[in-house]
Amino acid sequence: MVIEMPMSQQETKIKPTHDIRIFTGRANPELAGEIADYLGTNVGPMVIKNFSDGEIYVQIQESIRGDDVFIVQPLCDPNKSLVELLIMIDAFKRASAQSITAVIPYYAYARQDRKAAGREAISAKLVADLLTTAGADRILAMDLHTGQIQGFFNILVDHIYAAPILIKYIKEKKFRSDIVVVSPDAGGVERARAYAKKLNAPLAIVDKRRQAHNIAEVENLIGDVRRKTAILVDDMIDTAGTITEAAKLLIKEGATEVYVCAAHPLFSGPALERLENSPIKEVIVTNTLPLKQNVPQKIVQLSIANLLGEAIARIHDDESVSSLFD
């Protein structure tokens, strides 16, 4: 289910502006429609189709000359959606758009941000180069796996967070006990600390050792979760191995309940089955990515459309985006 969680300062829709244009690829058109509704406009008409050999064809169906164009395209099914985004950017550049902002709620390849072993590619940097070369003037991204990815670009990057939406939902819950915010690994401590500060809660850390790609082993817990409701915080849920093993450890260590908050619901491979069979009470995610059909009832999806819409409006009006999170 999708739950609309408008931020308090965003209750009134912004007046339409003639030169702010929202377009979308095929990755998440529902999200683009919600963003357009918030901005008081419509998603622009386009033809996007595949030729018989799989090549992607894009044609813009109206003039966008001199307009500020915002293309909404999360990189789910990344190989297809990335190429589609690159072709769309090129089409808008050749159609004389005033500016082109790629709105990428989920940035794929972000976990390949360094060489962890010999002869590996740094794919996150390659994707940044491709987007820039295609003609994007600016990037609007949400919850990048590591903030340093902003430095891979030679164009402006606005990095925003789903935290206000997720934290608002948590604050409105009626928990049976005090809460503790838990990072599922050492790399997510900064993120979890920010949640803990906003929720006025203590912090705990799960010690995770990664044996291979998509295989992690939970070892120890740093912090006290006894008789507390544990809120596990991560940027994404992929195969759900880390999250579900961490939840089992927290219950073993005396937590009364376990909830999970994450921006990006990738839910690949055995993720849904693992979440369904885990001790997790509720999995709270956003609609940066569309959910698959027949997801477990414990999965709650919140809309980030208003937050993205506000960021787009501020970019268009040359106002501060970072002040959204002050």
CB proximity list for 182: less than 8 A, separation 6 or greater: 192, 203, 204, 205, 206, 223, 225, 230, 231, 232, 233, 246, 250
CA–CA distance, 70 with 316 (Å, rounded to integer): 10
Q: Cα–chain-centroid distance for residue 173? A: 22
What are the boundaries of each domain within the chain? 2-161+305-325, 163-303
For residue range 6-64, what is the model confidence (pLDDT) as tens digits? 454 444 454 444 489 999 999 999 999 999 999 999 999 999 999 999 999 999 999 99
Mean pLDDT (the chain, rounded): 92
For residue range 101-126, what is the model confidence (pLDDT) as tens digits? 999 999 999 999 999 899 999 999 99
Per-residue pLDDT at 212 exceeds 70:
no
Q: What is the pTM of this model?
A: 0.91
- Fold category of 163-303 in CATH: Rossmann fold (3.40.50)
pLDDT, mean of residues 72-83: 97
CA–CA distance, 118 with 130 (Å, rounded to integer): 23
49 has catalytic annotation: no
CA–CA distance, 214 with 25 (Å, rounded to integer): 28
For residue range 165-194, what is the model confidence (pLDDT) as tens digits? 999 999 999 898 999 999 999 889 999 999
Residue 11: per-residue pLDDT: 46
* Equal CATH topology for 2-161+305-325 and 163-303: yes
Q: For the domain 2-161+305-325, what is the CATH code?
A: 3.40.50.2020
Q: How confident is the model at residue 225 (pLDDT cuts 50, 70, 90)?
A: very high
Residue 10: per-residue pLDDT: 45
For residue range 128-165, what is the model confidence (pLDDT) as tens digits? 999 999 999 999 999 999 999 999 999 999 999 999 99
Catalytic residue among 115, 174, 208, 298, which? 208
Per-residue pLDDT at 268 exceeds 90:
yes
CA–CA distance, 7 with 308 (Å, rounded to integer): 11
Per-residue pLDDT at 236 exceeds 50:
yes
